[in-house]
Amino acid sequence: MKIASVPLSAQVHAYGKTGQKTSVPRACSQAPDVVEISPNVRPLGEFLRAAQSAPDVRMERVTALRQQIEAGTYRVDGRAVAERLLAHTAAQL
C-alpha cells in the first residue's frame, strides 16, 4: 500500500476504527506451564555453578607476573604461543 497517495483518513480506517476497544478472550489452561530439562543438559548447570564459584583472578599468578614485568625478566615464548593458537584453532574446526 502506498501511503503517500492515500488520504490520512483512509490510512486510519485501513487498520480499523480508532478509539474502539475490543476484548480478546484469554485461553484457559488447566495445568500450569512446566519446563523440563533434559538429563543430558543437567551437567552443564553443574559446570556453570562450579565456574561461577571459582575465583576470577589468581592473585598469586598476577603478582608473580607483575614482579617479572617490573624487573624486566618477563619473557614470552613465541613458539609456545603459536603452538597453542594452532592447537586451539584446530580444536575449533
Per-residue pLDDT tens over the stretch 41-89: 888 888 888 888 888 888 899 999 999 999 999 999 999 999 999 999 9
Q: What is the pLDDT of residue 44?
A: 86
CA-nearest of 83, 44, 11 to 2 is 11
Q: Is 76:68 a contact under the CB 8 Å cutoff?
A: no
Cell matching residue 28: 484457559
- Which residues, other chains included, contact 17 with Cβ-Cβ below 8 Å and sequence gap of 6+? none
pLDDT of 29: 59
Q: Domain spans of the chain?
A: 59-93
Cell of 4: 503517500
What's residue 70's pLDDT? 96
